[in-house]
């Protein structure tokens, strides 16, 4: 049987090509692993094509952004796709600009490729969208998006002007949490917005007991000479419109993750994974961490 080839990149609505496998950074820069090791891991990821790096002002209250700033020093900025996020309570007219400028200082860069509203808060969408667009006009961000918004939220966002410029919705998605497959993945694709899957490794399996040890996962891994973590990444990346941002704090994990698209799950393997972790049959509230 012919293997289905997985596309390594995805085109955003404005035509920009981004890697479908990027790097998360939550808890990096907080001293949990040696700083040089974390920096090296991010740089190794970039070397291996994982040039999309996701961070947020929330992560370690700026410590993750700082580490990203250190890791990208000396790299070709044009080849990177840097993402950060604004706290919902900073997503108002003036505060958003201040948050963004602080993120840029910490990341030692002049612009972000993508700036996300981290989750929905009290600031009306219309105000946030206007503030985002102003940052695009100032050249401080190339585009903006949202995170943790479900389909109903997205419909509401679209009613604002110009809500349809939203490039991405970043949501939790892994084999053990498939609620977004019910209607969000398709809805985003139809509206030319990419879905960015966070926690694609279920936080190293911690979000779903038994996930990495599940027989269907283990069997697929064995068949492809892969690891269970690679199967998990491969699983979410089967959907064309999805970008995954696993976080890894060592070169070894980064190197493993970078190879997650080197194989394709067979229909039989997918059937077994579906059996073990059934796709949703009805609307499911968005999972959030």
DSSP string covering the chain: -PPPPPPSEEE-TTS-EEESB-BB-TTTTSSSS-HHHHHHHHHHHHHTT--EEE--TTGGGGHHHHHHHHHTTTS-GGG-EEEEEE-GGG-STTHHHHHHHHHHHHHT-S-BSEEEE-S--SS-HHHHHHHHHHHHHTTSBS-EEEES--HHHHHHHHTSTTGGG--EEEEE-BTTB-GGGTTHHHHHHHTT-EEEEESTTTTTTTTSTTTTT-HHHHHHHHHTT--HHHHHHHHHHTSTTEEE--B-SSHHHHHHHHTTTSS---HHHHHHHHHHSPPPSS--PPP--
Identify which of residues 15 and 23 has a Cβ nearer to ligand NAP in the complex. 23
Closest-approach residue to ligand NAP (CB): 24
Closest distance to ligand NAP from the beta carbon of 196 (Å) = 8
Closest distance to ligand NAP from the beta carbon of 2 (Å) = 28
Identify which of residues 99 and 257 has a Cβ nearer to ligand NAP in the complex. 257
Closest distance to ligand NAP from the beta carbon of 33 (Å) = 7
Closest distance to ligand NAP from the beta carbon of 137 (Å) = 25
Closest distance to ligand NAP from the beta carbon of 115 (Å) = 12
Identify which of residues 54 and 269 has a Cβ nearer to ligand NAP in the complex. 54
Identify which of residues 104 and 116 has a Cβ nearer to ligand NAP in the complex. 116
Site of interaction with ligand NAP (CB under 6 A): 24-26, 54, 118, 147-148, 170, 198-204, 229, 245-250, 253, 256-257, 289
Identify which of residues 198 and 263 has a Cβ nearer to ligand NAP in the complex. 198
């Amino acid at each position: 049987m012919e293997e289905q080839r997985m596309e390594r990149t995805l085109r955003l609505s404005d035509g920009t090509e981004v890697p479908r496998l990027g790097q998360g950074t939550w808890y990096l820069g907080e001293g949990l692993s040696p700083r040089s090791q974390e920096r090296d891991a991010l740089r190794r990821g970039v070397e291996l094509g994982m040039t999309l790096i996701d961070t947020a002002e929330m992560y370690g209250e700026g410590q993750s952004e700082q580490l990203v700033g250190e890791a990208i020093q000396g790299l070709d900025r044009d080849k990177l796709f840097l993402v950060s996020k604004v706290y919902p309570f900073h997503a108002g007219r003036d505060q958003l600009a201040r948050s963004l400028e602080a993120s840029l200082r910490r990341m030692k860069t002049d612009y972000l490729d993508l700036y996300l509203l981290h989750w929905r808060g009290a600031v009306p969408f219309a105000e946030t969208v206007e503030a985002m667009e102003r940052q695009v006009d100032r050249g401080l961000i190339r585009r903006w998006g949202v995170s943790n918004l479900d389909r109903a939220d997205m419909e509401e966002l679209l009613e604002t002007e110009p809500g349809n410029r939203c490039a991405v919705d970043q949501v939790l998605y892994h084999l053990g949490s498939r609620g977004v497959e019910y209607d969000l993945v398709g809805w985003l694709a139809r509206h030319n917005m990419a879905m960015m899957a966070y926690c694609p490794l279920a936080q190293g399996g911690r979000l779903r007991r038994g996930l990495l040890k599940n027989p269907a996962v283990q069997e697929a891994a064995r068949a492809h000479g892969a690891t269970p973590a690679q199967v998990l990444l491969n699983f979410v990346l089967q959907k064309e419109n999805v970008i995954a941002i696993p976080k890894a704090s060592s070169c070894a994990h980064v190197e493993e993750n970078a190879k997650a698209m080197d194989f394709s799950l067979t229909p039989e393997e997918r059937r077994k994974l579906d059996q073990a972790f059934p796709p949703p049959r009805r609307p499911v509230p968005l999972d959030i961490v």
